[in-house]
Amino acid sequence: MATAVHPSPDAPPAPVPAPARLPSLRHLGPNWYATVMGTAIVANAGAALPPVLPFGVPGLRTVCTAVWALSAALLAVLLTARAGHLLHHRDQARAHLHDPAVAPFYGCLAMALLAVGVGTLTVGADVIGVGPATAAAAALYGSGTVIGLAASVTIPYLMVVRHEVLPGSASPVWLLPVVPPMVSAAFGPLLIPQLPAGQWRESLLLASYALFGVSLLATLVILPAVFARLVHHGPLPVALTPALFLVLGPLGQSATAVGKLADAAPLAVPDPYRSGFAAFAVVYGVPAMGFALLWLALAGTMTVRAMRAGMPFAMTWWAFTFPVGTCVTGAASLAAHTRLTAFAWLAAGLYVLLAAAWAVAAVRTVLGLVSGELLAAPRR
């Protein structure tokens, strides 16, 4: 018969397992940077709306400045929280990087930095002054561009050599690591006036053009795989359907980029190059926006279908914000270069859609944080 063994009163107490540090951050993934991107683009797109519209929105710039400040605060909070995640939950961070469904979201960090940087230069200067705004924007541009280029190489590399990517699993999420260079391409021209004339300006202009090519050509490689997946394997899972809007990101952002490059060209290069930049802004921008509108109709139809099937709220709903915002800035750029009021109205209509999508996503995210659902462990 077994005899119970009691610990000696002089024996040291048995060690108590240490509780997990910052458990609420364990499942805080890189996809949370989408909240920063989606908030910043509301400010950036609002500031870019064409002045040729036959109506004005009183106080819009003030609202945009407040939204930019909110996006900057969100960025600071998320950078701190993600640092805590990497420090205390390194195993989970490695799991995210090696998960083909999560790893592409590492591109969101670069776009969050860049989106806040654009707002810092365009509307934040009203609050903090031109000098500090330029310095902060340059820092955000540099860090966002370096991180974006690293993501555009590292994540596809991991997809090839480490991730187990099943046939027919192509997703619009695959675009996230390759879009940041396009955001940099649209951001760089805004900094050209702050550089000395000559080699510095021309170098940044052409570097921005190279970043445009990096992102555009990578998008042209990925997008056919995404459409082939839809055609051969049917619609995306209901909860992932909002990701279809991610395709709008490189389209709208590329139209924005060529417009900004054309605006900055007279400061950096002589004719005939500056004229070529201006022509390309329209020759490329109009077809790109046309295809963006086609995809918007397709993605919108698929989203209505998913909603009828009971599409639940998830962080994927933030895909309704930043990509649509890039179409606002793309249409606004075309309005400036073509002087067509139709593009101005298009920008205004898309901005209304953007503002409504942001309001819904923001409210549902706050409610999900309060309930703890959004930071809970994923269901198996």
Q: Over the stretch 275-307, which tens digit does the pLDDT of each residue have? A: 999 999 999 999 999 999 999 999 999 999 999
* Residue 118 · residue 187 · CB < 8 Å: yes
* pLDDT score of 53: 58
**Using an 8 Å Cβ cutoff, are 315 and 374 in contact?**
yes
In tens, the pLDDT along 146-183 reads: 999 999 999 999 999 988 888 888 999 999 999 999 99
| Tokens 């998830």, located at residue | 314
Contact status, residue 278 vs residue 337, Cβ threshold 8 Å: yes
Whether residue 148 contacts residue 117, with contact meaning beta carbons closer than 8 Å, is answered with: no
Contact 112, 147 (CB under 8 A): no
Percent of the chain with pLDDT over 90: 78
The rounded distance, in Å, linking the Cα atoms of 108 and 243 is 13
204 touches 192 (CB < 8 A): yes
Instruction: Report pLDDT for 12.
Output: 53
pLDDT value at residue 24? 67
Q: Quick one: DSSP state of residue 124?
A: I
pLDDT mean across residues, the chain: 91
> What are the backbone angles phi and psi of residue 331, rounded to the nearest 5°?
-65, -40
Banded pLDDT at 59 (limits 50, 70, 90): confident
Which residues have a Cβ under 8 Å from the Cβ of 314 and sit 6 or more positions away?
A: 239, 242
Reported confidence tier of residue 1, pLDDT bands at 50, 70, 90: very low
pLDDT band at 23 (very low <50, low <70, confident <90, very high): low
Q: Is the pLDDT of residue 353 over 60?
A: yes
pLDDT tops 70 at residue 65: yes
Q: Where are the domains of the chain?
A: 25-52+59-371
User: Residue 315 corresponds to which tokens in the numbers above?
Assistant: 């962080």
Higher pLDDT, 51 or 300: 300
Nearest to 74 by CA among 36, 106, 44: 36
The pTM (predicted TM-score) of the whole model is: 0.90
Confidence of residue 3 (pLDDT cuts 50, 70, 90): very low
Q: Residue 21 to residues 18, 26, 82: CA-CA distances in angstroms?
A: 8, 9, 14
CB-CB contact of 322 with 37 (8 Å): yes
3-state helix, strand, coil in the chain (%, to 5): 80, 0, 20
Q: Answer yes or no: are the C-beta atoms of 67 and 47 closer than 8 Å.
A: no
Nearest Cα residue to 246 out of 112, 367, 108, 347: 108
What pLDDT is attached to residue 19?
Answer: 45
Check if CATH label 3.90.870.20 holds for domain 25-52+59-371: no
